[in-house]
Chains A and B, each alone.
Chain A
Amino acid sequence: NAGVTQTPKFQVLKTGQSMTLQCAQDMNHEYMSWYRQDPGMGLRLIHYSVGAGITDQGEVPNGYNVSRSTTEDFPLRLLSAAPSQTSVYFCASTGGIGGYTFGSGTRLTVV
C-alpha cells in the first residue's frame, strides 16, 4: 500500500514550458486535491476532484489544468510555466470523513 505517490520529486522548468505533475493513489479514494505551498505560507487549494470525471477549481486555479479519468490518477498540468509558479506542490486524497493522505510533494522551480 503505497498511499499517495507524486512524481517527479524535483523539477526545474524554463519560463513558458509545460509539464505534468503526476499523482496516483492506491487506496480507492474518491476525493483528490492539489495544493501549492509557498515559503512561509500555508497550503492553497488549486483544483480538486470528487470522483472520476468530476473536477472543480480551488482558490488559485489560474495557469493549471486537471483531469480525472480514473479513480487512481489526478495529474496537474502547467500550461505555460511562469516564475510565480515556483512552489512545492502537494497532492492529497481521502475516502471520506477520515482526513486526507498527502503525498511527499513536488518541488518545482521555474527560471
Chain B
Amino acid sequence: DAKTTQPPSMDCAEGRAANLPCNHSTISGNEYVYWYRQIHSQGPQYIIHGLKNNETNEMASLIITEDRKSSTLILPHATLRDTAVYYCTGKSGGSNYKLTFGKGTLLTVNP
C-alpha cells in the first residue's frame, strides 16, 4: 500500500502558484498517484492523477519525481476559491480503485 505524507497546512497569496508536496515513498511501480481536494464540507473533487510522467489538465499540474517517491501538485494561479484540503492518495490492497486517504493539506489562499 502506498502511504502518503503531506504537510498539514500551507498558505499561498492569491494569484501566485501553489505548490503542494506529497511523499509516497512506499509506492510501487504500477500504482497511480491521485490528487483530490475538498472544499469546506463538500464531497471530495478529483483533480489529477499520474503514473510516471508529469501531467497537466485545466485544473492543475502534477510533477512526479523520477524515483516516484514524491510528487507536487501545482495550482498555477491560486484563487480564493482554491482554499481547500488537498489529498494525495494512495491505493490499498492491489487495486487502483481502492483508495485510502490521509489527513491532507489545508491550503489557505490569502487576498
Contacts and interface: CB of A to CB of B under 8 A. Distances in A.
B32 A97 contact: yes
Interface string B57-81: 0000000000000000000000000
Interface in A38-53: 40-45, 48, 50
Contact of A42 (B32, B92, B104): B104
Nearest to B45: A102
B87 A42 contact: yes
Contacts of A90: 43-44
A94 to B, nearest CB: 6
Interface of A: 4, 31, 33, 35, 40-45, 48, 50, 58-59, 88, 90, 92, 94, 96-105
B46 A99 contact: yes
Contacts of B104: 42
Given A41-B103, A42-B102, A42-B104, 8 more contacts: A35-B101, A45-B98, A45-B100, A97-B96, A98-B49, A99-B46, A100-B99, A105-B41
A100 B46 contact: yes
Interface of B: 32, 34, 36, 41-49, 87, 92, 95-104
A90 B45 CA distance: 12
Contact of A43 (B41, B44, B46, B47): B44
Contacts of A96: 97
A40 B85 CA distance: 10
A40 B110 CA distance: 21
Nearest to A99: B46
A33 B45 contact: no
13 contacts: A33-B98, A42-B87, A43-B44, A45-B98, A45-B100, A48-B97, A50-B95, A92-B44, A98-B49, A99-B36, A100-B44, A102-B45, A104-B42
